[in-house]
Amino acid sequence: MVSLRPLSSLASYLITSLEESHPTPQEERRITVNPIVTKFASWYERLRNAMEFREDEVILRATIERILKRRLLLGGNGKTTAKPLVKELLWARYLPDGDVGESVVQKIEEIINLHLALRLRILSKYKFPESTINEWTYDLMSSDIQYILNPKRSKELIANFMFHVLKDDIMIEDESVETKNAQVFIAVRKAFARDDLAFLRYHLFCQYFGRLTSKTLDYTAEHFMEGYNEILRQMNYVNRDKVYTYIKRRTAAFFIFEDVLESQKANLKTILENDDSLRDVVFEACAKRYKSISSRVRTAIIRSVIFILLTKVAFAFFVEGTYERIVYGYIIWSSIIINISIPPLLMILVSLFIRTPGQDNSERILSYITRLLHEEDPVLGNKLLIAKPKTDQGYVTAFNILWLLAFILSFGVIDYILTQLHFNFVSQGVFIFFLAIVSFLSYRISLLANVYRVGEKQGLGTLLVDFLFMPVIRVGRNLTTSIAKINIFLMLFDFLIEAPFKFLFAFFDQWFYFLHAKTEELE
């Protein structure tokens, strides 16, 4: 006879919530688009997405934001924007054709108007920089619309479960429980839900004010500065990285747990209560995830190379080529070829060092999931205590000197090698520019490959590599984020190229619909 182990109260609540039936969609007119237009529009969208390096989880939101900016720039509103927005998303295959009804379009229209109204009230009430409130408005609006179109209910339930499991495993000396919980919440959103800055702002905004509705609009406008300052305080909290690192190292078990819950919907409770069946489904989920690592890494590398080629090579070629023509009278092709070939070669080199986790990793994940399911107060490894920092000026000075030494050593070696290859200072600048960005993207890819690893410690080799390459990686991160904010090429692309393309898509979509109607008249 098979013995069953009862689930904990928190795990039982999660399973019950996941098994709740969804309301049947009401019968209503659905938004449809022409399949021929969809094919061309989806190709265009792939090209456009390759110009920005984003996580898959935030691409839909970023696309919604891009469309909103283009359509609201010249005074649009919910009425003129909601339906075209949905059609553009259907064209690009972000949503299945016929999946969105008129009632959803109406909700999107209301949300757009609510956020535009909130923006105007804030500008009239506070001395608030218009560029800042515009950025926040698009972040909140695009996030809100994504959750209307794609609620991700199971993901949100598991993220909430993860927060409640881990929040008591972290203590911060001389800090309030509210701040500690906010930091755990942010870390879970970043590590598990893969939220970007816009999503983080949105979720913290909803935690503070609730979701924006006609009923909450007045209160939100009246107290916006209080919430805004509190969100900034939490986002810039001094110990946020320590909390995030702790949460991230426990995230793999929740990813696999999510896969188990999604794949075993029939008799889920019975499977989870039985140790043998639980082991089988966990190891099966682990095996699938491990197999997907190579393809995900390959896709990330291809997207990274395209991202660099489309957005950086032309600029670098222009700068380096122009300088060499002016100074030398000709272009030094050897240095340019080296600068252009480094990104794909470095990406390929990174892929060669990717290792798939083994059975011991799956055992650790199973151990964590077993605790999550059956223990009332599960603890995944050691708890975290963040003590009040002791100001020892000697240590601070020593660490700063070591960090400076790492910078000098890393960039000094690069400069020496390039000098031996007879690179001029502009070619060296372009090389370091590429190397820093590619190093950062490669680091991101290595994190992607290790997302399912649990409990592995760093070795001496890892520490040595971190010491030598972390300065280059940090410079690459700063370059990537800074350039993304002032990417003139993308701005011109979105407003000078995308707008005419989308106009043509809309025209042909209506033209094919017109032809279809005329054909029906002949039948």
Q: Tell me, what's the pLDDT at 409?
A: 82
Tokens describing residue 157? 């339930």
Higher-pLDDT residue of 66 and 202 is 202
What does the pLDDT read at residue 210? Answer: 93
pLDDT of residue 519: 62
Nearest alpha carbon to residue 265 among 6, 24, 22: 22
CB 380 within 8 A of CB 371: yes
Which residue pairs, CB below 8 angstroms and at least 24 apart, start in 157-162?
157/14, 157/17, 157/18, 158/14, 158/192, 158/254, 158/257, 158/258, 158/261, 159/188, 159/189, 159/192, 159/193, 161/10, 161/11, 161/14, 162/188, 162/192, 162/251, 162/254
The tokens describing 496, both together, are: 């000078």
pLDDT band with cut points at 50, 70 and 90 for residue 511: low
Percent of the chain as helix, strand, coil, to the nearest 5: 75, 0, 25
d(CA 512, CA 504): 12
Give the per-residue pLDDT at 512: 58
Q: Is the pTM of this model over 0.75?
A: yes
Mean pLDDT, all residues of the chain:
82
Residue 140: pLDDT band (50, 70, 90) is very high
Who's near 435: CB < 8 A, 6+ residues apart? 342, 346, 414, 472, 476
pLDDT tier, 162 (very low <50, low <70, confident <90, very high otherwise): very high
**Rg of the chain taking only CA atoms, in angstroms:** 26
Judged against a pLDDT cut of 90, whether residue 94 lies above it is answered with: no
- At 52, is the pLDDT very low, low, confident or very high (cuts 50, 70, 90)? low
For the cut 60, the answer to whether the pLDDT of residue 1 exceeds it is no
Tell me how crowded residue 436 is: count the other CB atoms within 10 A of its CB. 22
Q: CA angle, 51 as apex, 50 and 54 as ends, to 5°?
A: 70
Mean pLDDT of 471-476: 79
What was the pLDDT predicted at 510?
67
Residue 70 or 296, more confident: 70
pLDDT at 518 over 70: no
Task: Quickly tell me which residue has 């509210």 as its tokens.
Answer: 178
The predicted pLDDT at position 192 comes to 94
Structure tokens of 377? 């107060």
> Model confidence at 25, in pLDDT bands (50, 70, 90)?
low
Three-class DSSP category at 506: helix
Mean pLDDT of the region 246-274: 88
| CA distance linking residue 314 with residue 43, whole number of Å | 22
pLDDT at residue 190 tops 50 = yes
Is residue 522 over pLDDT 60? Answer: no
Q: Which pLDDT score is estimated for 500?
A: 66
Residue with tokens 């995230």: 251
Q: What percent of the chain has pLDDT over 90?
A: 34
User: Which of helix, strand or coil describes residue 385?
Assistant: strand
pLDDT band with cut points at 50, 70 and 90 for residue 292: confident
pLDDT confidence bin for 145, thresholds 50/70/90? very high
Question: Residue 460: its pLDDT value, please?
Answer: 46
* Of 431 and 139, more confident: 139
Mean pLDDT lowest among 265-279, 298-312, 488-502: 488-502
Quick check: 523 pLDDT over 60? no
Q: What is the mean pLDDT of residues 368-374?
A: 92
Say what the pLDDT of residue 30 is. Answer: 83
480 or 192, higher pLDDT: 192
What is the pLDDT at residue 393?
67
pLDDT in tens, 379-396: 888 899 988 766 556 766
CA distance 438 to 316: 14
- Which pLDDT tens digit goes with each residue over 304-351? 777 666 655 666 667 767 777 777 777 777 777 777 777 677 777 776
Half-sphere exposure of 404 (CA within 13 A, CB side): 6
Give residue for tokens 């007879």: 422
108-122, 167-181, 443-457: the lowest-pLDDT one: 443-457
- Specify the residue for token string 């660490």: 399
